[in-house]
């Protein structure tokens, strides 16, 4: 019986803990602002308990809390600095604003904050029964005004004028928090509401704590300078004992500065004769679209809809432009408008931000000439990439391939975004489409399964594909990992064997297709080389070799081995030449330049010094 009771008590405690954790959930990208008149921690039970107040604040977890009726070193508080004691308990920064001297100490208001304030000042407000104060605390993103208005109506009206005058001097969002000792329909609150937006719910009573019948505690946002505040959540906390006021809080989403909305520049993916995908990331949830056309002064809008719904309230943007004219120059710009509130029947928005107008040219079946640049095995080595790019930057290239292990061990979105942005910004990815081919290192890391959220597969379906640039057929393959699926470090999470088998079938169909047979030139690109005598484990050769032995390619472009190698036709059982790019170092790095002019196709391989280590006529 005792054991049963003990287990029940444990279960009740666990349930209570989870209930507390879920009691005040908070959305991302919000600020929780709280107001609490603590009556110097003396509750409705006439017990003064600082820890009780601290625990209430801690359970709500505000970013900012403005407290009223706070003693500092008074006889009543037995010499305790109340704000400092609360600050120590819940580990928040404290700023005190004394209104009057009292019992050998001070009495006033205070602010606790998770972030360290930049500056603060205290100015007097009128109060016939006792002087009042306005504590103004500056943070990097906003200003907080904390106050406790007088019990006299004229004093409150005068205080509103003083506060309005102070708010004018700031170019940041300003929040006013406190016990204003006035009801929502009072003249002073109406006057305040001309320049300020009430962020708490005026129908949720805050006083007295045991049986609240009125609202006198508020959270306001200054709007006279065009600032907007979306209220994601507001609540008066059901706390009837710790003070004579109930605590209240509002979760606020600030409008983001326009220059901070865009996280990346647009970059082009999945090029075709009649389409192009424009991708970019924002720092905040947005609704986004692309404005495009053949005339930069007369552009139309393209958005992404999925089963009737516009893709919105997201930060990764993928807009497909379809039904384009082949071999035609298009102008475009990416557009994002911040969404600050997304509810079933209510939406609120921030600024609309447009990138600079850029352009691209669609591929054309009749345009057979092109220049492609191919990188491999960069392993996030930006310095190496920059050095190699310097040798090709003056070329009039049409597409860039990243042939595996260019985004290495993708542990996080931030890692992938940083690498993609560096490559695309450098090579003009807003004008020139990039094609990313997966290597064995792109399959590793916590974000590897989500990497294609940031990129678009050529053809949009698989990591392998076939397509034409003019009369040249490109076949891209995905070799997967470089060790057996059963290798312990893969933890039984890989099955590249079946994926390679699916690609073998894809290859059979591809080399039998009319598109492949009628192509003037054919290029095979994949990361791990099929034909390489240095490679001991080569499942791709076992599965694909017999198919490739029946295919007519002009060249195979590969990487992975970290050392440049040219394998002439027939040297390793290959029916066509194979070129393996170098590795991620100044000593071994290489870049390929594949050019087609008329009937002639050439391949050049340059090292980090810009020296030509291979020149092939294909």
The CATH class for the domain spanning 20-254 reads alpha beta
Query: Long-range contacts made by residues 24-30, C-beta under 8 angstroms, separation at least 24?
Result: 24/59, 24/60, 24/61, 24/235, 24/249, 26/61, 26/233, 26/251, 27/232, 27/233, 27/251, 27/253, 29/253, 29/284, 29/285, 30/232, 30/233, 30/251, 30/252, 30/253
Q: Are 66 and 109 in contact (CB under 8 A)?
A: yes
CATH superfamily entry for domain 258-361: Immunoglobulins (2.60.40.10)
Q: Where in the chain is the domain with CATH 3.60.10.10?
A: 20-254
Q: Would you say the C-alpha torsion 299, 303, 308, 309 has a positive or negative sign?
A: negative
Residue 345 DSSP SS3: coil
Percent of the chain scoring above 90 in pLDDT:
93
**For range 419-432, the mean pLDDT:** 98
| Span 577-601, pLDDT tens digits | 999 999 999 999 999 999 999 999 9
Q: Where in the chain is the domain with CATH 2.60.40.10?
A: 258-361
Q: Is the per-residue pLDDT at 431 higher than 70?
A: yes
* pLDDT at site 14: 47
Q: What is the DSSP string of 193-254?
A: TTTEEE-S-TTS--BSSSS--B--EEEEEE-TTS--EEEEEEEE----SSSSS--EEEEEEE
Q: Where in the chain is the domain with CATH 3.60.21.10?
A: 370-617
* pLDDT at site 4: 53
Which has the closest alpha carbon to 468: 376, 372, 578, 394?
372
| Span 111-130, pLDDT tens digits | 999 999 999 999 999 999 99
The DSSP 8-state label assigned to residue 416 in this structure reads H
| Span 207-255, pLDDT tens digits | 999 999 999 999 999 999 988 899 999 999 999 999 999 999 999 999 9
| Span 266-311, pLDDT tens digits | 999 999 999 999 999 999 999 999 999 999 999 999 999 999 999 9
Residue 208, preceding peptide bond in cis (omega within 30° of 0): yes
Return d(Cα 431, Cα 615) in angstroms, integer.
28
Tokens of 570: 């027939």
Q: Is the per-residue pLDDT at 2 higher than 70?
A: no
Return d(Cα 528, Cα 317) in angstroms, integer.
31
Going by their DSSP bridges, the two strands 465-469 and 472-476 should be labelled as antiparallel
For the chain, how far is it from start to end, CA to CA, in angstroms?
86
Residues pairing with 301 in the sheet: 291
For the chain, the average pLDDT equals 95
Q: Are 327 and 370 in contact (CB under 8 A)?
A: no
| Span 125-178, pLDDT tens digits | 999 999 999 999 999 999 999 999 999 999 999 999 999 999 999 999 999 999
Q: Is the per-residue pLDDT at 350 higher than 90?
A: yes
**CATH number assigned to the domain covering 370-617:** 3.60.21.10
Q: Is the per-residue pLDDT at 574 higher than 80?
A: yes
Q: Is the per-residue pLDDT at 397 higher than 80?
A: yes
| Span 481-535, pLDDT tens digits | 999 999 999 999 999 999 999 999 999 999 999 999 999 999 999 999 999 988 8
Backbone angle region of 69, left / alpha / beta, with phi > 0 → left and psi within -120 to 50 → alpha: left
Helix, strand, coil percentages in the chain from 3-state DSSP, rounded to 5: 20, 35, 45
Which has the closest alpha carbon to 64: 232, 341, 252?
252
| Span 536-550, pLDDT tens digits | 889 899 899 999 999
* pLDDT at site 542: 87
Residue appearing with tokens 């100015």: 123
Q: Are 114 and 98 in contact (CB under 8 A)?
A: no
Q: Are 521 and 556 in contact (CB under 8 A)?
A: no
Return d(Cα 176, Cα 563) in angstroms, integer.
64
Return d(Cα 286, Cα 441) in angstroms, integer.
32
Return d(Cα 436, Cα 463) in angstroms, integer.
9
CB burial of residue 327 (10 Å; 0-12, 13-18, 19+): middle
Residue 572 DSSP SS3: coil
- Higher pLDDT pick, 2 / 92: 92
């Amino acid at each position: 019986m005792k054991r049963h009771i003990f287990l029940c008590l444990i279960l009740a405690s666990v349930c209570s803990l989870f209930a507390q954790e879920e009691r005040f959930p908070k959305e991302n990208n919000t600020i929780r602002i709280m107001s609490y008149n603590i009556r110097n921690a003396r509750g409705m039970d006439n017990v003064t308990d600082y820890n009780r107040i601290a625990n209430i604040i801690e359970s709500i977890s505000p970013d900012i809390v403005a407290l009223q009726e706070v003693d500092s070193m008074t006889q009543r508080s037995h010499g305790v600095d109340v704000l400092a004691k609360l600050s120590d308990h819940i580990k928040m920064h404290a700023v005190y604003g004394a209104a009057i001297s009292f019992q050998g100490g001070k009495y006033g208001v205070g602010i606790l904050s998770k972030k360290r304030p930049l500056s603060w000042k205290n100015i007097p407000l009128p109060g016939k029964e006792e002087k009042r104060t306005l504590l103004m605390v500056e943070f990097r993103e906003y200003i907080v005004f904390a106050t406790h208005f007088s019990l006299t109506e004229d004093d409150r009206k005068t205080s509103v004028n003083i506060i309005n005058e102070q708010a004018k001097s700031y170019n940041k969002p300003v929040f006013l928090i406190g016990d204003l000792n006035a009801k929502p329909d009072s003249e002073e609150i109406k006057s305040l509401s001309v320049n300020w937006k009430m962020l708490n719910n005026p129908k949720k009573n805050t006083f007295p704590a045991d049986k609240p019948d009125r609202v006198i505690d508020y959270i306001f946002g200054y709007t006279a300078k065009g600032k907007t505040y979306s209220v994601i959540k507001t609540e008066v906390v059901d706390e009837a004992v710790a003070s004579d006021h109930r605590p209240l809080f509002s979760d606020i989403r600030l409008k983001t500065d326009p220059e901070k909305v865009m996280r990346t520049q647009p970059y082009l993916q999945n090029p075709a004769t009649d389409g192009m995908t424009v991708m970019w990331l924002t720092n905040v949830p947005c609704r986004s679209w692309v404005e495009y056309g053949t005339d930069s002064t007369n552009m139309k809008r393209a958005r992404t809809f999925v089963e009737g719904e516009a893709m919105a309230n997201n930060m990764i943007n993928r807009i497909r432009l379809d039904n384009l004219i082949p071999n035609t120059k298009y102008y475009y710009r990416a557009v994002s408008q911040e969404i600050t509130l997304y509810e079933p029947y209510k939406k609120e928005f921030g600024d609309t931000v447009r990138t600079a107008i850029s352009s691209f040219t669609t591929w054309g079946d009749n345009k057979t000439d092109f220049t492609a640049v191919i990188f491999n095995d960069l392993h996030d080595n930006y310095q190496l990439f920059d050095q190699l790019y310097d040798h090709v930057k003056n070329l009039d290239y049409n597409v860039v391939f990243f042939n595996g292990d260019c985004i290495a061990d993708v542990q996080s979105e931030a890692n992938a975004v940083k690498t993609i942005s560096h490559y695309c910004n450098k090579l003009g990815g807003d004008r020139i489409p990039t094609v990313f081919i997966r290597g064995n290192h792109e399959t590793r890391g916590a974000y590897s399964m989500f990497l294609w959220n940031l990129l678009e597969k050529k053809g949009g379906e698989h990591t392998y594909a076939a397509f034409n640039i003019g009369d040249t057929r490109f076949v891209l393959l995905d070799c997967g990992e470089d060790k057996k699926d059963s290798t312990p470090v893969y933890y039984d999470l890989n099955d590249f064997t079946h994926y390679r088998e699916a690609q073998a079938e894809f290859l059979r169909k591809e080399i039998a297709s009319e598109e492949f047979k009628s192509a003037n030139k054919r290029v095979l690109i994949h990361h791990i080389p099929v034909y390489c005598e240095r490679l001991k484990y080569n499942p791709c050769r076992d599965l694909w070799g017999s198919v490739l032995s029946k295919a007519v390619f002009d060249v195979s472009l590969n990487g992975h081995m970290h050392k440049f190698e040219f394998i002439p036709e027939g040297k390793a059982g290959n029916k066509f030449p194979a070129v393996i790019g170098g590795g991620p170092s100044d000593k071994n790095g290489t870049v390929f330049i594949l050019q087609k002019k008329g009937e002639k196709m050439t391949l050049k391989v340059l090292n980090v010094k810009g020296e030509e280590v291979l020149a092939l006529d294909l």
